[in-house]
Chains A and B, each alone.
Chain A
Amino acid sequence: MSQQSTTAEHRSSGGSGQEAAPAKRKSAMAEFIRKFSKQKLSLVAGIFIILLLLVAIFGPYLTPYDPDAPDYDSMLSGPSLKHWAGTDEYGRDILSRLIEGTRLSLAVSLSAVFIAAFFGTILGLLSGFYGKWLDRLIMRSSDVLFSFPDILLAIGIVAILGPGLTNVVIAVAVFGIPSFARMIRSVTLSAKETLFVEAARSMGAKDRRIIWRHIFPETLPSVIVNVTMKIGGAILAASSLSFLGMGAKPTEPDWGAMLSMGRDYLSIAPHVVYFPGLIIFLTVLAFNLVGDGLQDALDPKMKN
């Protein structure tokens, strides 16, 4: 048989590939949405978070009152039609302050977690990919950070840097780095062993290309899940720092600071702590639920 005809035969034989693509494979995004929306609780939590984000963006247009304007005629008044969540010790509308505080709390926790994710992921990738002394250095350093109770470490950092929301962001970010680094390292270690990474090496690809093009995308689902999971914790930590007077100034409408200020009036006006506490609780819960849902939806081993 001549060369030409044999190649033609290949074409016809392999070319029948149109029918071979499995029909059920839709785009990865559609698959993800389908899986995620099967988890009802996470879906509800996701909607809650979206609402929260909208509130954070459009906050100033939604507040029924000026969140900073005192009203000495109605101090510490309970929930009513006029003030849905009551007023605080200066007569400021608590609902308005919560709405305003959404922006602050989310900004603090999101930026802290993103910073932690950024540095943690880089460190994890380097640690897992190169191994040896670099791995030992990074992992032992994170062990040191791990050995402090989270909040104590944050308090220490803020104590050194001085109070203020920027420093809270730094503190929360620093204690978030080791957990990202560890997790990304373990994903990197397994991704490094995959055949397509070995194939890339055999082609002569440089380390940088292998890390960014082949390994990093493998770690992305874990990064996303971990970010979501960590936001809840970061909100709690930031609120705790504010509660302890190390974060937001008492005048700022931060959820934690509001909780802290209301503490003194707990016995006579419980609503002053009740509503900030509730919103912190719900937000943390929502982020954790979404994190769980994402984990299941992004896990390729979970079918259906």
Chain B
Amino acid sequence: MDKLLEVEGLKTEFKRDGGNVMAVAGLDFHINSGEVLGLVGESGCGKSVTSLSIMRLLKGTPGRNAGGSVKFKGKDLLRLSDKEMRSVRGKDLAMIFQEPMTSLNPVLRIGKQLEEPIRLHLGYNKSKAREHAIHMLQLVGIPRAEGVMNDYPHQLSGGMRQRVMIAMAMSCHPQLLIADEPTTALDVTIQAQILDLMKRLKEERSMGMLLITHDLGVVAEMCDRVVVMYAGRVVEEAPVKELFENPQHPYTQGLIRSVPKLRQKVRRLESIPGNVPDLSRMPAGCKFAPRCPHVMPQCLTAEPELLAASGDSTRKSRCWLTQETELKGGTGA
């Protein structure tokens, strides 16, 4: 399988009053073509910053790239000129956001907003672009597509807006779609519609997807592989089934156990004690150590690396626990 997107050592810094903080501190992951990779974590773990860094949309935020590479089909996006980047963004690489209202222009009709990138990236003339736009709206299940072309964003419901956003993102046949919490702002029955739509489109078009979410339910339904982030780092990477069946990192374990699940009858939920560390006051060593139930002396001083489990290159974990057993096994043999 060829790698569609390869992120290596990605670092993103944020300016703060008291100096700079690392919101993303050396991220490594890849997405194969046609694959859905889930990027999971709680608020403040750096997952949204990651997507903005990949799309080079940090301008206007206090953030800036501080190293690493983002190879999209072999080309390093971080080294492209602004002009080259614009021709990639919206065409091969598209993005949808949590709140579609922030990325739709409130004073332009839907039709105009859809046609513009189509004409720009696909070189269609006006009537052909319009035809294509209407086709896209129909594809995402908007009932009166031609009417919606003349509507303004505020005239549509939240679910409809998200469909328009998806239509817009899909209109130039992207090879990779980055979806940042695409259904978080929606009600569950509407979420079910949108997830269903995204799954269908992904299969029809065999495109890769980076799905950023905090919702483990959405991850389980949508993703092939999952990357779990904590405090700006990847702490675990695994195929979706393995991750839920046998999570290796204590953070992943805690996360999965603390979610209440339908038809699971427990008196008490398990929970992860404490809070996510503040970026400017990161603990030394493993960043999860202060909340970890299995913490050992070495966790407080040295940070483990993200290493593959023995014999299974698809699974990686950043934890002394798994790595130490390996070490022990190694010396014992």
Contact = CB atoms under 8 A, between A and B. Distances in A.
B18 A20 contact: no
B16 A24 contact: yes
B278 A16 contact: no
Interface string A2-25: 000010010011001101101110
B280 interface: yes
Contacts of B298: none
A24 B280 contact: yes
B102 interface: no
B273 A23 contact: no
B78 to A, nearest CB: 26
B310 interface: no
Interface in A102-139: none
Nearest to B272: A13
A22 B281 CA distance: 9
Interface in B276-316: 277-278, 280-281, 290-291
Interface in A12-41: 12-13, 16-17, 19-20, 22-24
Dominant SS at the A interface? Answer: helix
Contacts, number: 31
A13 B18 contact: no
Contact of A19 (B16, B268, B290): B290
A23 B278 contact: yes
Interface in B247-275: 268, 271, 273-275
Give the interface size class of chain B: 10 to 19
Contacts of A16: 273-275, 290-291
A1 interface: yes
Contact of B275 (A1, A20, A24): A20
Contacts of B290: 16, 19
Interface in B1-23: 16-18
Contacts of B274: 13, 16, 19-20
Contact of A6 (B16, B268, B277, B291): B268
A17 B16 CA distance: 22
Interface residues of A, number: 12
Nearest to B267: A1
Nearest to B281: A23
A288 to B, nearest CB: 29
A6 B271 CA distance: 12
B273 A24 contact: no
A135 to B, nearest CB: 29
Contacts of B291: 16
Contacts of B280: 23-24
Given A23-B18, A24-B16, A17 B275 contact: yes
Contacts of B275: 16-17, 19-20
Interface string B55-69: 000000000000000
B278 A20 contact: yes
A23 B18 CA distance: 9
A52 to B, nearest CB: 33
Most buried by B among A6, A12, A20: A20
Contact of B18 (A6, A9, A24): A24
A13 B268 CA distance: 15
A55 to B, nearest CB: 37
A1 B17 CA distance: 45
B278 A22 contact: yes
A19 B275 CA distance: 8
A158 to B, nearest CB: 50
Contacts of A6: 268
A13 B254 CA distance: 13
A22 B277 CA distance: 10
B18 A19 contact: no
Contacts of A9: 273
Interface in A206-224: none
Nearest to B277: A19
B268 A24 contact: no
B28 to A, nearest CB: 28
A19 B278 CA distance: 8
Contacts of A20: 274-275, 278
A19 B273 contact: no
Given A1-B268, A13-B273, A24 B281 contact: no
A212 B281 CA distance: 38
A24 B274 CA distance: 20
Given A24-B16, A24-B18, 7 more contacts: A12-B273, A16-B274, A16-B275, A16-B290, A20-B275, A23-B18, A23-B280
18 contacts: A1-B268, A6-B268, A12-B273, A13-B271, A13-B273, A13-B274, A16-B273, A16-B290, A17-B275, A19-B274, A19-B275, A19-B281, A20-B278, A22-B278, A23-B18, A23-B278, A24-B16, A24-B18
Interface of A: 1, 6, 9, 12-13, 16-17, 19-20, 22-24
Would you list the 4 A-B pairs with minimal beta carbon distance, nearest first?
A: A13-B273, A16-B274, A20-B275, A24-B17
